Chains A and B, each alone.
Chain A
Amino acid sequence: MSITYLEAIREAQARALADDPRVFIYGQDVGAFGGAFKATKNLAQRFPGRVLDSPISEDAMLGLAVGAAIQGMRPIVEMQFADFSTPAFNQIVNQAATLHWRTRVPCPITVRLPSGGTSGSGPFHSQSMEAIYAHYPGLIVMTPATVEDAYSMLLEAVAIDDPVIFCEHKYLYYHLKAERLPTEAMPTGKARIARTGRDMTLVAYSAMVHEALAVAEELATEGTEIEVVDLRSVKPLDTDTVMASVARTGRLLCVGEAFPWGGVTAEVIARVASEGFGLLDAPPQRLNAKDTPVPYHPSLWAAHRPTAGSIAAAARRLLRL
């Protein structure tokens, strides 16, 4: 019996609804239709009155979530695509993220963002927004890479008293499967060593973790052992695990699917360079998507984001430095 990344997300929401009467889901097409990606399929039937269709009003959707949270609820807001969270940006960063700091009242909302590119999606259905939200104080940003993390981290997102931006990767929805759901999980804020190695640290998150693992496999046949670190959450970012890994390997390559300027990769490298300078045997490197909107055509799209091939090339270059 196998379960996909998407099903894990659905199961986590079902469990949250079942366990906690304060939880409700609010999003476009999430009710009877079950959501654009079927992430809430059958949940409206199973939990009547708690899975609500919203109008196409991302700003009002998030404002509503904040208002409900102030009254003690734990709303899960599904944005249909991460890219569409921009109309809600004001409510997320100015309303939700500042509420606790300004008023001492926590804002336990969860915002699910179907993120990342799939072939043919184009500029407005492919974005990775974790860096933008991580930049603002007061938000937690999660980027699960595995079926297990998609399940347990979403449950934890609902339980956390702060606004959580849950970046689920659309490509992984149907492509990633696991045997069963986990019964325990690493805490939020801890990164996972997805594969151990001694020659280089390859830090990645979300879908890029799988590309990174493919690269590690390939380079292992060449006698190079790459340690792959899955950040799991981008904020908080587990600097300690990354630093310990670089202490073992001396070389750092950080990969992200998002745009290059000031992304997660820049943040990781900044931290390692300033706090772990003496650990580095070579200049730290990063690889991101190109500095253009995400292209539509499959050949352009394949070249736009990092892939196992381009990551392997970058890794080999780093090994030669």
Chain B
Amino acid sequence: MPRGTHTAPHPAPRITHHASRFTFHVSPPPDAMPSIPIIMPQLGESIAEATVINLLVPVGAQVQTDEDIIEVETSKATMNVASPCPGRVEQFVAKPGESYPVGAVLGHLQASQEDAARLGLDAPTAPKDGPDSEDSQPAGRTQTEGVQKGVQPTVRGLPVPANATGASYMSPRMKARMMELGLHAADLAGLPGSGAAGRVTIQDFEKFIANLEKHKLTQASSMRVAVADAMRRSWTRPLATVALPVCFDALLNHRKTCNPKPGPALYALRALALALAENSAPAGRLIGNKIVHPSSIDVGFAVEAEDGVLVPVIRNAEKRPLKDLVQRYDELVELARQRKLPADATGGSIATVTNFGTFGLTWATPIPLPEQTLVLGMGAARRVPNWDPAQAQFVPAMEANVTLSFDHRVLDGGAAGRLLARVAQLLASPEKL
């Protein structure tokens, strides 16, 4: 031994954990009560862990199946972890105030063999030693047969993947190729990927493109491409729809008295404009954490034109009564159909109205323009029986669904419903529009 070195000190005596005292793992007698782990369950989509708030029963308590034994808190709510079976609470591992991941062992129950077997949990779970524990020894040390190493996830909870190798992503090559071809992720929806985690690989992509050549291909019109792009962009938002059945008798009767007859959509447009003039917040846009409020009540209306839809706009629609707008409306419709709308007649609207009833449709969920939060839809009116409480009988009425599709980031069902109700109210007095 080289001069100057000294021998290593004797290793410190090891503390052996006897099974009988530290019952992370059990060596049960022949008529054993197996130890069932209490596992942190899957508490909700995207919840990966929860904080223990309270241990609701003491150690040693007898509990029933599904009895609440631990109170935990997630980012969404407070909830309880329930007992998987009848048994006696043997011990808690979890401590109040600490967080544990989904699938973690929070404690143990002592249960009967039958209950354990029924749950598929009849093998007691592993000792405290992990694979990198200094005390770990090869399997076979433990006295109990069938002891498994490592904590097994329970049948109840979903294991949280620790590391998704090859997680789903779009490779730089894919992105470059898609840009080259002018494609978007929407174009590839429904293309199954053969890569890890279902990733679409460049090979999948090229096969898909090559395959397209085998089908009949026609050129999409530029209008079609433009609409496709607008809808794709709009759909990146969470959209929702609410609807109200509205009695159209008043509207239809009023319309008969007019000459020229206003388009039904114009009624809706005016009603929407007036409702938004009272409260324009629902037509605001959410950019980041700011709501951008509309500056003038410009409302557009959808006109089918050739291979797509154009949206001419009535500026300051709340300022002029319906009869003053009819001519302008009709002009715009004609210009739109001929694809001759001037630039200042489109764009800049804060909401759109669409009359899908003209196609005979009673129900639809239109998609708002990507730069707008709202689209008001009108379905076809039908004669339906309506309960009249005054006469205590059904009377015939013309009824149509009026829908409001909206960007759910900006408003919730309540606000949407209130706006829609106000529009319905206004439509009930068409002479005031």
Contacts and interface: CB of A to CB of B under 8 A. Distances in A.
Interface of A: 250, 277-282, 320-321
B172 A280 contact: yes
Contact of A250 (B166, B196, B202): B202
Contacts of A280: 171-173
B195 interface: yes
30 contacts: A250-B171, A250-B173, A250-B202, A250-B203, A278-B172, A278-B173, A278-B175, A279-B172, A279-B173, A279-B176, A280-B171, A280-B172, A280-B173, A281-B171, A281-B172, A281-B173, A281-B174, A281-B201, A281-B202, A281-B203, A282-B166, A282-B171, A282-B195, A282-B201, A320-B166, A320-B196, A321-B165, A321-B166, A321-B195, A321-B196
Interface residues of B, number: 13
B180 to A, nearest CB: 9
A282 B174 CA distance: 10
Interface in B158-179: 165-166, 171-176
A277 B171 CA distance: 9
A279 B176 CA distance: 8
Contacts of B173: 250, 278-281
Contacts of A279: 172-173, 176
A280 B166 CA distance: 14
B176 A278 contact: yes
Contact of A277 (B165, B166, B172, B196): B172
A321 B193 CA distance: 12
Q: Which 7 interchain pairs have the tightest Cβ spacing?
A: A278-B176, A281-B202, A321-B166, A281-B171, A281-B173, A277-B172, A250-B202
Contacts of B171: 250, 280-282
Contacts of B172: 277-281
Q: Which of B171, B174, B196 has the most CB of A within 10 A?
A: B171
Contacts of B202: 250, 281
Contacts of A320: 166, 195-196
Which of A250, A277, A280, A320 lies at the interface centre, i.e. has the most chain B CB atoms within 10 A of its CB?
A: A250
Interface string B172-211: 1111100000000000000000011000011100000000
A251 B173 CA distance: 10
Contacts of A282: 166, 171, 195, 201
A282 B172 CA distance: 8
Contacts of A250: 171, 173, 201-203
Contacts of B176: 278-279
Given A277-B172, A281-B172, 9 more contacts: A250-B203, A278-B176, A280-B172, A281-B171, A281-B173, A281-B201, A282-B201, A321-B165, A321-B195
Nearest to A279: B173
Interface string B208-224: 00000000000000000
Contacts of B203: 250, 281
B200 to A, nearest CB: 10
A321 B203 CA distance: 13
A250 B199 CA distance: 14
B142 to A, nearest CB: 32
Contacts of A278: 172-173, 175-176
A282 B193 CA distance: 14
A217 to B, nearest CB: 22
Nearest to A247: B173
A278 B174 CA distance: 8
B208 to A, nearest CB: 14
Best-surrounded residue of A279, A320, A321 (most CB of chain B within 10 A)? A321
Interface in B126-185: 165-166, 171-176
A250 to B, nearest CB: 5
A69 to B, nearest CB: 45
A113 to B, nearest CB: 33
Nearest to A273: B172
A278 B173 CA distance: 4
B342 to A, nearest CB: 42
Contacts of B174: 281
Nearest to A277: B172
Contacts of A281: 171-174, 201-203
A250 B170 CA distance: 13
B138 to A, nearest CB: 21
A321 B197 CA distance: 9
Nearest to A198: B203
Contacts of B201: 250, 281-282
Contacts of B166: 282, 320-321
Contacts of A321: 165-166, 195-196
A279 B173 CA distance: 5
Interface in B371-411: none
Contacts of A277: 172
A280 B175 CA distance: 10
B188 to A, nearest CB: 15
A279 B177 CA distance: 9
B169 to A, nearest CB: 9
Interface centre among B166, B172, B174, B195, by most chain A C-beta atoms within 10 angstroms, is B172
A282 B201 CA distance: 9
Nearest to A249: B202
A280 B172 CA distance: 6
B195 to A, nearest CB: 7
B91 to A, nearest CB: 42
A250 B203 CA distance: 9
A291 B176 CA distance: 36
Interface in B314-351: none
Nearest to A246: B173
B317 to A, nearest CB: 48
A235 B180 CA distance: 34
A320 B202 CA distance: 13
B305 to A, nearest CB: 38
